[in-house]
């Protein structure tokens, strides 16, 4: 049986349809997770084009291996795990350093910075609130960018994606104690960088 809409269908059920080769199921999985995955990767690599390429690689890898998905795990955890692996591999290869949401680290010209910057939009705030929020958001983004990539992934998964420590340990393939240490140190560093944040 095929659903007309996937709105109330769980990830696991959509995956079953995808395993049957249904393109609309693949598109539904992409639709559900393209923004969280892209956001996580972007906040780690700080370059829009690179983040798109890595997010694309992540989805292609996951969806080409959809038959290997084990339903006892959350689909999103599996997806984030692949995204994290691909991103960490990329960072190790490139030794990319951070830094600004205004553009890629290698953006030496204003044109390049504009091309690689990400536009953040919000539909509910007033222009002043939006401006304040953007400034605050930019400070947070900038502070996250200063963290080590391993800390970045852990703190984003914990505080942006609301994953438990156990789930994060599974996603980043690190012992639970290491994950807790990383998150503790990341919080300390963020407090140092954002000391005057009220």
Partner 1 sequence: MIEHDFPEEFVPIAAELQRLPYLSPSRDFADRVIAGIDRLQPARGAAPAVASRHLELHQGGRQAVVPRRKIGLVRATTKTAAVVGLVAVAAFMFLEIDVLTAILSAAVTQYGFVLAAVGAQAGAMVLGPSTIAYLQSGALEAVLLYLTLAVGMIGGYAAIRTAAHIAKAKAA
Give exposure, 20-41, as e/b (b: 16+ Cβ within 10 Å): eeeeebbebbeebbeebbbbbb
Among 59, 78, 80, 151, binds partner 1 (CB under 8 A): 59
Q: Of 9-17, 31-39, 70-78, 80-88, which part binds partner 1 (CB under 8 A)? A: 31-39
- Burial class, 13, CB count within 10 angstroms (exposed 0-12 / middle 13-18 / buried 19+): middle
Among 3, 16, 56, 77, binds partner 1 (CB under 8 A): 56
113 phi, psi to nearest 5 deg: -65, -40
Residues 158-177: x where in contact with partner 1 by CB under 8 A, - otherwise, as a string = xxx-x-x-------------
- Look-up: residue for tokens 């291996």? 65
The helix or strand, by DSSP H or E, that contains position 129, with its residue range, turns out to be helix 127-146
Question: How many Cα atoms are found within 13 Å in the side-chain-facing hemisphere of 132?
Answer: 6
Per CB under 8 A, 63 contacts partner 1: yes
Per CB under 8 A, 21 contacts partner 1: yes
The answer to whether 30 touches 17, Cβ cutoff 8 Å, is no
d(CA 189, CA 182): 10
Q: Of 4-12, 58-66, 72-80, 170-178, which part binds partner 1 (CB under 8 A)? A: 58-66
Per CB under 8 A, 113 contacts partner 1: no
Per CB under 8 A, 189 contacts partner 1: no
How many chain residues interact with partner 1 (CB under 8 A)?
Answer: 42
- The residue ranges that bind partner 1 (CB under 8 A) are 21, 23, 26-27, 30-31, 34-36, 38-39, 42, 51-52, 55-56, 59-60, 63-64, 118, 120-122, 133, 136-137, 140-141, 155-156, 158-160, 162, 164, 187, 190-191, 194, 197-198
């Amino acid at each position: 049986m095929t659903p007309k809409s996937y709105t109330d269908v769980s990830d696991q059920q959509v995956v079953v349809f995808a395993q049957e080769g249904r393109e609309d199921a693949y598109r539904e999985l992409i639709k559900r997770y393209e923004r969280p995955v892209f956001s996580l990767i972007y906040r780690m690599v700080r370059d829009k084009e690179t983040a798109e390429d890595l997010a694309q690689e992540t989805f292609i890898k996951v969806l080409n291996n959809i038959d290997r998905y084990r339903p006892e795990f959350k689909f999103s955890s599996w997806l984030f795990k692949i995204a994290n692996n691909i991103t960490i591999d990329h960072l190790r290869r490139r030794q990319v350093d951070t830094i600004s949401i205004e553009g890629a680290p290698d953006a030496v010209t204003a044109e390049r910075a504009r091309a690689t910057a990400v536009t953040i939009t919000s539909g509910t705030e007033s222009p002043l609130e939006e401006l304040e929020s953007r400034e605050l958001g930019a400070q947070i983004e900038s502070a996250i960018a200063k963290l080590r990539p391993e800390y970045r992934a852990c703190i984003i998964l914990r505080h942006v994606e609301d994953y438990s420590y156990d789930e994060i340990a599974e996603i980043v393939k690190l012992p639970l104690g290491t994950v807790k240490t990383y998150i503790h140190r990341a919080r300390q560093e963020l407090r140092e960088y954002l000391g005057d944040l009220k």
